A = this chain, B = another copy of it.
Amino acid sequence: MNSMKINHPYIIAHQDRFLEELFQLLRIPSVSADSKYKDDVFRTADFLKAKLMEAGAENIKIMPTKGYPVVYADKIIDESKPTVLVYGHYDVQPPDPLDLWLTPPFEPTIRNGKIFARGACDDKGQMYMHIKVLETLLQTNALSCNIKFIIEGEEEIGSDNLESFINENKELLKADVVLISDTGIISNETPSITVGLRGLSYLEVAITGPKRDLHSGLYGGAVANPINVLCEMIASLKDKNQKITIPHFYDEVIELNQEERALMNQAPFVLEEYKNALDIEEVYGEYGYTTLERVAIRPTLDVNGIWGGYTGEGAKTVLPSKAFAKISMRLVPNQSSAKITQLFSDYFKSIAPKGVKVELTPHHGGEPAITPTNTKAYKAASLAFETTWGKTPIPMREGGSIPIVSLFERKLGIKTLLLGFGLDEDAIHSPNESFRISNFFKGIETIVEFYKEFSKNS
């Protein structure tokens, strides 16, 4: 049996159109982090409104926030039936570095059964599955619970305005479960459901040495070079065992016991394949933990960008005035993003030598989350995978962050089900992001099946 074969007649009948609609969505460069795409981001909300209408949703509205709007829609068939709140986002990561894309990021292209485009998987491809699920359920008279949609445009920049949006619309957003497709499965051979996510602290740091760029021959050796200093400061954030040195950084981290760790390490993972896929000789991380543990249950610190001085062609002997870095930390339950951001800031300032000035700008953060496996929704999802994939999915913790999971729990008291269909190969946030066509359709089919199971015993 080819587990990726689609069996649902309606999906088969309309798959060309489904794909063409997704391509239209992918062509809009809705980069929320870069203000030059502002009009495109707004245009994407309009596009979704139209598509939700065509799919049969009701009460569709583009709800303004202080930033980009939230697209709301619903289909309430019976107030007494359970309600699923689908969350997704229509903004995407910046496409840089552009020169590494084989085809332009906003001209979706199919190669080897994959759609290549920024947002193909994260999250336009996965979010759009849900609109096509609604259409499929309605056109086949199979909808037997209520569905609400909120699709936001600021996930990639921290969902800064989502909290107040939720506060102001608690009644509107009432639901029994939040359903999100913004995660992945281990592989198409080993389907899985994500049950844990890391949180995030993200800061931009600026180091200023002398007030102007200097000649490195005349001043080198006598004045603090902000690039050297920045490197020294970044280096001192980890010790030789790759443990983070920020005082109290690990205070709230919940250590798993040996049994839990053993269970986690049973997940299928072949180190040699992992290294080959990345073309690295060795993995590299915190001493005393396996690769699976490092990306799931351990907090991390990564420099996401660095710049300063002369970066053009050839040589320039400058001792620059400034150096910059973007630094993020992935957090695990029970760490708090705000607290870690504060600990980082205090420590980073404390390790600066006197010859430089330090400026810190926190970007968005997000809280780590664990989602339950003992709920009706989780069980329905598990049964859906069994039907469509022929396999029971493995519960898996993932290294990424979806800060809104903890937000929904805190603000609305609703648990989340993370029903994603991405693959490791999708290269989200990277050049040549992709999404397999088979996973797009299989995702739609599995979510349709989820609704069937979820509504069964209601």
Report A's interface with B, CB cutoff 8 A: 32-35, 93-94, 96-97, 100, 156-158, 198, 200, 202, 204, 209-225, 227-232, 234-236, 238, 278-286, 291, 294-295, 298-320, 323-326, 328, 330, 353-356, 363-364, 398-401, 424, 427-432
State in angstroms the CA–CA spacing of A31 and B174 once bound together.
Answer: 64
A93-B198 contact given A223-B283, A284-B353, CB 8 Å threshold: no
For A223, list chain B residues within 8 Å (CB): 278, 280, 283-285
For A356, list chain B residues within 8 Å (CB): 280, 284
For A312, list chain B residues within 8 Å (CB): 33-34, 94, 96
Name the residue in A223, A229, A328, A427 with the highest tally of chain B Cβ atoms < 10 Å from its Cβ.
Answer: A223
A283-B212 contact given A315-B364, A429-B316, CB 8 Å threshold: no
Which of chain B's residues has its CB closest to A34's CB? B313
State in angstroms the CA–CA spacing of A104 and B112 once bound together.
Answer: 50
Query: A313 touching B35 by the CB < 8 A rule?
Result: yes
A221-B33 contact given A213-B100, A330-B216, A430-B214, CB 8 Å threshold: no
Contact of A307 among B209, B212, B307 (CB under 8 A): B307
Give the distance to chain B from A223, nearest Cβ to Cβ, in Å.
6
New contact pairs (20) apart from A210-B279, A284-B355, CB-CB < 8 Å: A33-B316, A202-B315, A210-B280, A212-B430, A213-B431, A217-B400, A220-B295, A221-B330, A222-B284, A225-B302, A227-B302, A230-B306, A231-B306, A234-B235, A282-B353, A302-B319, A305-B310, A305-B320, A306-B308, A315-B364
For A231, list chain B residues within 8 Å (CB): 230-232, 234-235, 303, 306
7 interchain residue pairs of minimum CB distance: A33-B314, A217-B400, A221-B300, A235-B235, A224-B284, A305-B309, A284-B355
Name the residue in A204, A279, A286 with the highest tally of chain B Cβ atoms < 10 Å from its Cβ.
Answer: A279
